[in-house]
Amino acid sequence: MSETFDEVTTLKRRTFVAASTAAAGLPRLTSDRLPISTPTPADRLSTVRLTVNGEQRTAQVDNRTSLLDLLREHLDLPGTKKGCDQGACGACTVLVDDRRVNACLTLAVMHQGAHVTTIEGLARGEQLHPLQQAFIDHDGLQCGYCTPGQVMSGVACIAEGHTGSREEIREWMSGNLCRCGAYTNIVSAIEQTAKEA
């Protein structure tokens, strides 16, 4: 029985990967044998209690856990996006005690007792927040990845009173990047919502 080129290539790749990981002393990752993660020592764990979207929430986390990871991985709120994880893109913007915060740059333990609002907490049932509706009306999104952070930052921008002109809106929204380039429409959505507030 002759093997096809793809079967030979796959076999050689698998052999190469297996041999190179063994030579490097790395564990071979297979579905039946995954590396076991070591548990976090108890002295590095903290219980964090905060109010998220109006609901009291509690989680035990490693002291090094960011607010972003607490929201996404422990509280099952994936609306807040992990973009750059370095505070440069604004995809993870949430409101902490009504102030905008890049959730990737702050530790969860620093917000004991805080009130956190995420994109999931803006709408009231089926009724969208006015800025969410304005994003739809003005086509302020394309791929949608940055949209939660843009909306949360826009809500703060309006509350802070930084909507006197399109230029001022752009300046105060400059920490939120949109790789699709929907900036003009985002500014229009914020401008409309500010006028109607």
**Beta bridge mates, 86:** none
Q: Which pTM does this prediction carry?
A: 0.78
Asked if 70 contacts 114 with a C-beta cutoff of 8 angstroms, the reply is no
> Which residues does residue 127 pair with via DSSP β-bridges, in sequence order?
124
DSSP for 129-170, written as a single string:
-HHHHHHHHTT--SS-SSHHHHHHHHHHHHHHT--SSHHHHH
Averaged pLDDT for residues 106-135: 97
Residue 26: pLDDT band (50, 70, 90) is low
Residue 40 vs residue 149, higher pLDDT:
149
Asked if residue 95 lies in contact with residue 158, where contact means CB atoms within 8 angstroms, the answer is no
For the stretch 151-169, pLDDT in tens is: 999 999 999 999 999 999 9
pLDDT digits (tens, 9 = 90+) for 100-118: 999 999 999 999 999 999 9
CA distances to 157, 168, 187, 190 from 165, rounded to whole Å, are: 12, 5, 10, 10
